[in-house]
Amino acid sequence: MIHLTPRLLSVAAYVTKGSVLADIGTDHAYLPAYLIENGIIARAFACDIHEGPMQNAKTTVNDAGITGVEFILSDGLQGLEPHKDTFDTAVMAGMGGELMCDILSAAPWCRREGYTFILQPMSRANTLRRYLYAHGFEILHESIAKEKDKLYNIMKVRFTSNTVNIREVEALLGKTTDSEYYEELCAREIKRLQKMYAAFARANHMQPEQEKILELIKEIERYTCLQ
């Protein structure tokens, strides 16, 4: 049996029963194997840019004795274009937010209604949220998973074609207000911004940047009771 940790379990929770999944950067293919083993999906594409992770994926699937997984060695969504009418949900988990933006930019064909994207950035969640809204995607739901003191954002996203410029505070916090870890996420962001402010103060320059950081801290405090 495949066991997922809370981060990938939260990703799995956003996968609709019966969907056909493309797992980009699959590595061990734990996510598709878990979803097939538990009868949530029957088919998946396990995609990775590197041969080693692809071999890991094949080993997991063989050991689990499951069928329905097709392996694609490719950069991002590139190798999926010939299969674009056969999957409906693409997952990118465990990669940097900026890499996810690059992967989405390199595959303009994926900007169509009907696809669901489940994204779990390891960094730069704010850059990813800003990119999504500026390029016609909408974040429908978000959750936060916690593993060993680290918080992870998980986003369920659709393409709508409406472009929106979101405010920095929205880019930083996302749609996570109903998460049990929301206050912790806000506290973590405030701490990070305070460190950034102190670094600018030590360098004794970039006054407008410092003011922006202070304003952002105040805004996050207003969104919470962390005052």
Ligand X SMILES: C[S@@+](CC[C@H](N)C(=O)[O-])C[C@H]1O[C@@H](n2cnc3c(N)ncnc32)[C@H](O)[C@@H]1O
Q: Compute CA 86 distance to the chain's CA centroid, rounded to the nearest angstrom.
A: 22
Q: Determine, following the binding rule CB under 6 A, whether residue 68 of this chain makes contact with ligand X.
A: no
Residues 6+ apart with CB under 8 A from 157: 116, 117, 118, 119, 132, 137, 138, 139, 140
- Contact pattern from residue 157 through residue 196 relative to ligand X, giving x for each residue in contact according to CB under 6 A and a dash for the rest: ----------------------------------------
Contact positions with ligand X (CB under 6 A) in 9-48: 24-27, 47-48
CB of 66 to ligand X, least distance (A): 17
Q: Which helix (H) or strand (E) element contains residue 145?
A: strand 137-147
Instruction: Give the residue with the Cβ less far from ligand X, 33 or 217.
Output: 33
CB of 220 to ligand X, least distance (A): 27
For 149, phi and psi rounded to 5 degrees?
Answer: 70, 0
Distance (Å, whole) CA 4 – CA 77: 24
Token duo for residue 39: 């009868």
Distance (Å, whole) CA 142 – CA 156: 6
Contact positions with ligand X (CB under 6 A) in 70-109: 75-76, 93-95, 99, 103
Q: Which amino acid is at 99?
A: L
Instruction: Give the residue with the Cβ less far from ligand X, 25 or 174.
Output: 25
Q: Determine, following the binding rule CB under 6 A, whether residue 53 of this chain makes contact with ligand X.
A: yes
Instruction: Give the residue with the Cβ less far from ligand X, 51 or 113.
Output: 51
Distance (Å, whole) CA 14 – CA 37: 16
Q: Residue count at the site for ligand X (CB under 6 A)?
A: 17
Instruction: Give the residue with the Cβ less far from ligand X, 7 or 129.
Output: 7
Distance (Å, whole) CA 81 – CA 77: 7
Cβ-based neighbour number of residue 169 at 10 Å: 17
CB of 26 to ligand X, least distance (A): 6
CB of 94 to ligand X, least distance (A): 3
CB of 39 to ligand X, least distance (A): 21
Cβ-based neighbour number of residue 88 at 10 Å: 14
CB of 174 to ligand X, least distance (A): 18
Q: Rule CB under 6 A: which residues touch ligand X?
A: 8, 24-27, 47-50, 53, 75-76, 93-95, 99, 103
